[in-house]
Structure 1
Amino acid sequence: MREQGYESITTELKWVCDKSHHSAVGQSFFFIGSVVGTVIFGNLSDRIGRLPALLLATLAGASGDFLTSFVYGFPLFAFSRFVSGLSTDTMYYLMYILVFEYLSPKRRTFGLNIILAFFYCFGLMTSPWLAIWIGNWRHYLWLASLPALGVLAYPLFICESAQWLLTKKRYERAVQCLKWVAKFNGRQVEDSVFDEFVKYYREKGNEELKLTSDEDTFMGMFRTPHLRRCTLSLLLKSVIITLSYDVINRNMEGLGTSPFKLFSYTSINYLPAGWTILLLQNNIGRKGMACGALLVGGIITTVTGFLIAFLDPKENALLLAVMIGLGRYGVTVSYDAEIQYAAEIIPTSVRGRALSNIHVVGLASNSLVFYVIYLAKFYKPLPSIFISCLMFVGAGLCLTLPETLNRKLPENLAEAEIFVKPGQCFSLCPKREKISSTTI
């Protein structure tokens, strides 16, 4: 059956009756690919650099989509979906980290969230209409894979992360990148400033080498008590937010309108979600933003669940669409606030690996999405009630994490252990901390 004139792979290849499971199995391979890709490219980003890992991840995903468009049988379909899944979310996380590590604390919230508020929102809103306009899944995948070729030009316009280069003691290359950025921004910086900068980090690196010769790893985050507690909280929060995000975004059918149109219309929530973070996060702090978003999102989700259960979808299509949009708004604010919050807590030396591993744990919760949605068979508001309870637990977990606003962020595990000590937790009031001019 076609939806809005769009011919899907299920329709074209007649994957019905005894073959109806092919699409679901293919999506399972896509999920496996996303887990494998997140781990591989996350580790690569800390070993070979953010930029090379980003290029490889993006090209892998595009290759998978392009290959999928030529399949006519299930085995090749499963393989191509696995390849395509390698870059899912990974290329987003790697670009996020690269931008994050170049922005000053003052501009970080604006720079990161304005991209999501406009460009990501635009992509989500237009992609369903492009699918309807193109009308065929093969042609749609061709169109979707072509823009990825643009990453080949990234090295001409984007520098490697200077922060990552400093953790690898590649000081000269870090200075080259910073000089290029200064030139692009029209700023004149004396060579003596860079000399002092390199001297500071050389001395700091030598001191750290005397204390320990071990390289920082993700597992090292579990060796010390305060950092271990913080890491476990981040892992559990990732499960809660990812599961909530996916359940709310996927539960689009049976609501009185086309899933294509409903997805497009409710995607506009990314615009106010981005602006909400821009207006509030630097004032109430990362912890207050993350905690408040989960709390409010949980309340909205509960109300929406009961409205869907007791109102006629056809007669109240507009009201339900608005409430679903508000639900997506709440969970989107939570999701976006969580990414920046986690990135600021995790030290530079393991940021790529740690964020990817935390994300993988969150992705694992995807296997529960359809079971949560299935709870509606027993009591229609039950999925919303379940997700709301999880979001309230997530809000409580935020209280166990340190505030990062106006504080110098950790660059290694030793600094992170001090950064997350209990005295910095269980408070929603941001503290001001003087940041040295020699740090970036």
Structure 2
Amino acid sequence: MAFNNIILALTITQHNCKLPEKPANLSEYLWKLKYIPVVEDATGDNRTKFSACLIYTANNETEACSIYDYDKTWYETTVPSDNNWVCDNELNVVNIFSYSKIGETVGSFIFGWFGDVYGRKPTIIISLAMLIIGRLISGTATISMEISSPKRRASVATLRLVFTSIGLCLTPLFYWWLRNWKPYMIITTATLIPCLLFSWNIIESPRWLWVNREYKKCIQKLKLIAKVNNRNLSSTIENEILTSEQDVLADSVKVLGPLALFSGWRLAINTTLQLLLWVCVTLNYTAVLLSSAEKSYGNPFLDFAGQSLAEIPGYFVASWLADRIGRRYTGMISTTITTFIWIIYVFRDFNGTEWLQSQWLGTSLVIINRLTITVSYYIIDLLNFELYPTCLRQTGMALGNVVSGGAGSLAPYVLHLGRRFDVRYSSAILIATTILCGVLTSFFLPETLNVKLPETLEDAQRFGRRDRTYYMSVNVKDETVDSNLPACNRD
């Protein structure tokens, strides 16, 4: 809720120049026609509408509005209505969205490195505190994934993302109740305070402790986990942990930081492909999320909540498909459907056919689009955890968030392009990125279904090189397997 409350607070409500009081004997339409010029709609198809930014002068010329009237049917106030961030000043709203994403980018970069060096727990606590104070960053927690078995990774990711969608669903209900953006922002952000207080009870990741050679603390946390699950940590495992010797690469990872994600041909390819995938998925998801209020066909708060609820079955569908047909094919199906929906939007904007313009079709398209993009978002989120070793997982997630934040900062400008100039421009960009997303997921990234998480940098450098279906250029020399590697890497 705290992370996404800014979306509704920056909603641009319907507006036009403030007009003199309307005489009782004139209709609303004729009164507007007297003062407000008619302009061409950006959606095309020779449609026209009353200008939201211009008014006739005494000389029957047009000029920009000096005072605006805002529709208060649903929103009593928003940030744009309080500050007149509309028309020529509408770019301020776009910039604020963009700055928010840049804040995510900076936070992800810093705290990704911080999490791999100093641990997951302090990262969560500090980022929660900063989010409460300034909403500048998002918590990049990976503990839940690292203490889960391979068979449960998809389920854990599903639960985490489902509760994100529940927060999105609740957010507009608070605005509907409060109607004013200031108390709404305060209350939805204050909901994080209990999370911050209870976060001190979160345990540190045993994987992170092991990779960083804190073996005694690792055993302590494993014993706690075992106790909660009515199990015992065997003395054999305990002795194995205490006597284990970590590869010297663990030290080099701390020095290299994000550069270690490109240390090796296969790891560099996997990292690059994931970053491109982050760009495509985030641009689409952010565009859909930011336009949620614009695609309303009634109560904007209930519509926003309904679209957010559509994400929940999307995550369960994604989890079910990912565990049965794999990550790649699940991503391919979702991006194909999303592409077709963007194409239908183009026909809908430029074709006045009654059934294309029907409310039921518009609502259905929005919900299905949100659901399918949610599936794509789930897949890249899951892949980001599964392709990196423990010593680099937080850094890998951070780098993905950095690129994702950059792509997300472009989404408001893509929407602005279509809203102020021609909707075909934004549609073409979204269609092209969705197709690219499908190609990357389907043909180039390695499949990670039921695969053990890489534990070391060497594991990650080898991961995917044996998949000849998607990597035909592997050298014979690269196929040599070190007999000293764990069995899971030799198989």
Cα distance per residue 1:14-49 (max 9 Å; x no partner):
556887665444444433322211111111111111
Query: What is the alpha-carbon distance in structure 1 between the residues aligned to residue 328 and residue 268 of structure 2?
Result: 18
Q: Say whether residues 1:327 and 2:369 are aligned partners.
A: yes
Structural mapping, 1:1-400, within 5 Å: 1=70, 2=72, 4-13=74-83, 22-64=92-134, 84-85=135-136, 87=137, 90-91=138-139, 94-95=140-141, 97-117=142-162, 119-155=163-199, 157-199=201-243, 202-203=244-245, 205=246, 208-209=247-248, 214-215=252-253, 217-252=257-292, 253=294, 256-311=297-352, 316-373=358-415, 374-375=417-418, 380=423, 383-398=426-441, 399-400=443-444
CA contact (8 A) 1:8 1:136 kept: yes
What is the identity, as a one-letter code, of the residue corresponding to 2:203? C
Structural mapping, 1:406-421, within 5 Å: 406-421=450-465
What is the identity, as a one-letter code, of the residue corresponding to 1:35? T
What's the offset of the Cα at 1:130? 0.8
Query: What is the alpha-carbon distance in structure 1 between the residues aligned to residue 100 and residue 85 of structure 2?
Result: 18
Distance 1:270 1:16, change over 3 A: closer
What is the identity, as a one-letter code, of the residue corresponding to 2:374? T
Instruction: Compute the TM-score of the two structures, normalised by the length of structure 2.
Output: 0.74
Moved more, 27-36 or 157-166: 27-36
Give ranges in structure 1 of 5+ residues lacking alignment.
65-83, 428-434
Determine helix, strand or coil for the equivalent of 1:284: coil
Determine helix, strand or coil for the equivalent of 2:446: coil
Distance 1:415 1:40, change over 3 A: same
What's the offset of the Cα at 1:307? 3.0
CA contact (8 A) 2:124 2:199 kept: no
- Calculate percent identity across the aligned residue pairs: 26
Distance 1:410 1:425, change over 3 A: farther
What is the identity, as a one-letter code, of the residue corresponding to 1:405? L
What's the offset of the Cα at 1:120? 2.3
What's the offset of the Cα at 1:308? 4.4
What's the offset of the Cα at 1:188? 2.7
Query: What is the alpha-carbon distance in structure 2 between the residues aligned to residue 404 and residue 3 of structure 1?
Result: 49
Instruction: Compute the TM-score of the two structures, normalised by the length of structure 1.
Output: 0.82
- Judging by fraction of residues, say which structure has more helix: 1
What's the offset of the Cα at 1:140? 1.1
What is the identity, as a one-letter code, of the residue corresponding to 1:174? C
CA contact (8 A) 2:263 2:461 kept: no
CA contact (8 A) 2:222 2:233 kept: no
Query: What is the alpha-carbon distance in structure 2 between the residues aligned to residue 257 and residue 275 of structure 1?
Result: 28
Query: What is the alpha-carbon distance in structure 1 between the residues aligned to residue 302 and residue 149 of structure 2?
Result: 39
What's the offset of the Cα at 1:297? 2.2
CA contact (8 A) 1:301 1:384 kept: yes
CA contact (8 A) 2:446 2:470 kept: yes
CA contact (8 A) 1:124 1:267 kept: yes
Give the alignment's Cα RMSD to 1 decimal.
Answer: 2.8
Cα distance per residue 1:267-314 (max 9 Å; x no partner):
121121011023211111122222332223222332244234435699
What is the identity, as a one-letter code, of the residue corresponding to 2:366? I
Query: What is the alpha-carbon distance in structure 2 between the residues aligned to residue 213 and residue 255 of structure 1?
Result: 53
Moved more, 175-184 or 151-160: 151-160
CA contact (8 A) 1:266 1:321 kept: no
Query: What is the alpha-carbon distance in structure 2 between the residues aligned to residue 171 and residue 424 of structure 1?
Result: 38
Distance 1:26 1:246, change over 3 A: closer
What is the identity, as a one-letter code, of the residue corresponding to 2:369? G
Determine helix, strand or coil for the equivalent of 1:55: helix
Distance 1:162 1:212, change over 3 A: closer
Query: What is the alpha-carbon distance in structure 2 between the residues aligned to residue 35 and residue 212 of structure 1?
Result: 26
